[in-house]
Amino acid sequence: MAYALLIDAGNTNTKFCLADETGLKSSYTLPTRPRNTADDWGIKILEVLRLEGVSPEEVEGCVVSSVVPPLDPLLAGMSKRFLGMRARFVPRDLPLGIENRYARPEQVGADVLVTAFGARRLREERCLIVVDYGTATTLACIVDDAFMGGLICPGVLSSMSSLHEGTAKLPAVELEVSSDELSWGRTTSECLNQGLVFGFAEMTGGLCRKLAKQMDADPYVIATGGLASGIARICPEIDEVRPDLLMEGLWMACFD
């Protein structure tokens, strides 16, 4: 069976996922380190393939979404040497079926376009908003088959890291939602959890409501990213959670 290797190169982590025409397979997440060599990435890929019982010869495509330019030549070199093929970067080498109406299209991250494309392929509603809880929190607005623009806000985890690193007494905590109702924290960890999770939920809801006023139909809101499920529980503006929407978009671009 022919496989494709899908790569999401983000600022914090790089995710690898095998896929075939039936859908996504297992995914693996590694820290993004642009100083690693192409050989280092290649050895990691061979280990992923070994764990999945897939030989390099069975991989017939390598598709990359990258927002880390220094990493691009390393991933291209890895694909060439270890998989024997040229990596295709979206949207440069593999155009997506979505129009980019940004004032400066070259400034739009590949991840934003891929998730916008994936959302459009999944939903028929005319107006969509994709909220991506990554290193930054982004909101992408899609009308018909066009990415219209959006917003870039601080990320949940990066905000927590900034508080931890910039203060003497605030610890790093595991973010989790223990209740759907806001209550004041009785410990520092509870205060951080309540403040960050409910704060970002309220930010998301408020921004979606304001963006909706610029659309001629109520938008359908899709949340993606590792913290999307927890925040969606307490944010009624979010209609659906797709944790791996970017990988789903890469799969659609590769196999459709």
The catalytic site residues sit at: 111
Give the three-state DSSP class for 25.
strand
In single-letter form, the type of residue at position 3 comes to Y
Pairwise CA distance, residues 202 & 229, whole Å: 15
Structural tokens at position 147: 């990415």
Question: What spatial distance separates the first Cα and last Cα of the chain, rounded to whole Å?
Answer: 17
Per the CB < 8 A criterion, the answer to whether 245 and 118 are in contact is: yes
10 Å Cβ neighbour count for 124?
A: 8
Q: Which residues, in sequence order, are bridge partners of residue 84?
A: none
10 Å Cβ neighbour count for 98?
A: 21
The H-or-E segment that residue 9 falls in is strand 3-9
Kindly report the backbone phi and psi dihedral angles of residue 197, in degrees, each rounded to the nearest multiple of 5, phi listed first: -70, -50
In single-letter form, the type of residue at position 194 comes to Q
